[in-house]
A and B are shown apart, each in its own frame.
Chain A
């Protein structure tokens, strides 16, 4: 599915380049920060990912990496061009600069791929960059319809997932044997619902029971997420829905009280009193001593004045 095209420019005078680099020593090396190839340009790679959320938002994500001291690290500030079908100017979707982690992320315009057929290809390319060799990577993904419905019958909560694709005539075909993972959104990440992913049957469907003991927000709301990750035909597909299947969260008023682990505004009163009493006591004495030195100065002046008289 993925085809990587690395366009290299080894150069006629590769050896001379190496010698020149050697002579310029660590200065040139330190300036680039990356390991260089025989062309004098830094080696670079692109990992291209396609993600589709709720059959609506489509994201292309290019992770740009370069070799620094022998290990691959994200390269920031690199302009990555995204194309559709081929890396030609008329097919350019846009240019995005990689962030601090070396990731360039582009949200595709809505309806961009309509009438493109059952499969479509995207290309991420680095071209004419001062630091890096020209590099391309492409990804081909198939048209898909990934849906999740949530059903509650006789107090049993079930998640129903279906995955379909379409053939050349636009006919929908169920896709079986695809692993689907189920999660619930938590504050810092996704909580897996089961140890192993579910697998779609011949109808492209999955039916999974949803646990009844998960805490939700104050209204009992949970965000359920179904995911297909790194699929060779569809890339990453995600469907999420909010539903009040959680146990409503009861906020413990004790937590708002003054505790050691509370915010600075809610520090325990005894601690504030204790620390400030010590501070006032000790710094009061220090100020008293400083005042005493002022008295020494005053006595010195009066003695000097008396001696003069």
Chain B
């Protein structure tokens, strides 16, 4: 942060102005426009293929009688997982008093909101007849984990939106009052969303209380959303899914990929928006330590998940496990374990590994590893049903996604990134008002000391 030596009041105003100028959303540069155009292109082609799927049915995918869930569901689990980052940064770190989290809260909430929106969209994409989604609403069986999942996803989405929106209100008021030279609609949008905010002490009191309540509320819902998602698998009698470990296994994996997502976003925004004064080496160091902790927890659950069934090697489980350990899925399985978990763990233990660029590379490993991990959870199990496959074409006994399936999946990922990109174009990536306030407090503390 740049400061000038003046009177305290002048210094305060200088701080505020600098911070506001640094953190206000900016128009896209050339790279930004290319980025947005690429995402729009991927989404448009994906939409075209999806229309083809609606017209011709799920036959355009590689899903058949046995592999009834494919990469759409793996992608859904990935989106649900990464969305948990919102609760990790905005709630768990907030309640634990980690003040360093401030510059990361909005990034994590934006990732959470876009991911959970696309988790819901992907479920509809996975349906051959999307109109029948309404049946889940009108004919829901309260006994079904699918019903619980629909309920908990919509609840989590609403809470995440509120957790993104409420801390944004003071910033919206700042933009309403100070942001000049913007289109009329944008000004109107800020004015409408700012809810007449004018730093009234009572308003601040209400806002802080509401944020705190939401921070508490989102934690059980976040645990609920991924536990219920794990129950979609664990409540069925299938090799690889029939596990009592699945709830915590999914939740720990979700926090890990969420932390990876935030680190990647931190690096990108820091580099392209020149935010080195706000997202500092200290933040990377803390996030690295957090990621190490989460990786160790996830490693522990992975050992439980695979070691215990492998030790027993029950007849029904053995085909599935052997396929993972040294069968056709072995390269992917070991690749995910090594690159997605072990290497990040080792790299982050070293000081040089906790620098921005190595951490960015490590976070990409974690994210890609996490996506394929969901692939490995969903797909190989379906290839080993308890009742042997009979009288089906050979091609139905395996699953490899079609080109259209890959593209539709890529389009959902691009769509989530597009939402984050648009949000960062319209709103500050780092909370402005909160940063100013913290800077003032720090300044005051410095003066006192």
Contact = CB atoms under 8 A, between A and B. Distances in A.
A208 interface: no
Interface string B191-229: 000011110101100110110011001000100000000
A268 B221 CA distance: 23
B243 interface: no
A283 B162 CA distance: 13
B169 interface: yes
A299 B200 contact: yes
A275 interface: yes
A296 B169 contact: yes
Interface centre among B143, B155, B158, B166 (most CB of A within 10 A): B143
A272 B221 contact: no
Interface stretch (B134-142, B282-290, B359-367): B134-142
Contact of B140 (A264, A271, A288): A264
Given A275-B148, A300-B198, A282 B203 contact: no
B195 A297 contact: yes
Contacts of A19: none
A2 to B, nearest CB: 24
Interface residues of B, number: 29
A286 B213 CA distance: 9
A301 B196 CA distance: 6
Given A261-B143, A264-B139, A275-B142, 16 more contacts: A264-B140, A267-B141, A271-B142, A282-B221, A286-B217, A288-B213, A292-B206, A296-B195, A297-B195, A299-B196, A299-B200, A299-B202, A300-B197, A300-B198, A303-B198, A304-B198
30 contacts: A264-B139, A267-B141, A268-B143, A271-B143, A275-B148, A279-B155, A282-B217, A282-B221, A285-B213, A285-B217, A286-B159, A286-B162, A289-B213, A290-B162, A292-B206, A292-B210, A293-B166, A293-B210, A295-B206, A296-B169, A296-B196, A296-B207, A299-B202, A300-B195, A300-B197, A300-B198, A300-B203, A303-B198, A303-B200, A304-B196
Interface of B: 139-143, 148, 151, 155, 158-159, 162, 166, 169, 195-198, 200, 202-203, 206-207, 209-210, 213-214, 217, 221, 393
Closest 3 CB pairs of A and B: A300-B196, A264-B141, A267-B142
Interface of A: 71, 260-264, 267-268, 271-272, 275, 279, 282-283, 285-286, 288-290, 292-293, 295-297, 299-301, 303-304
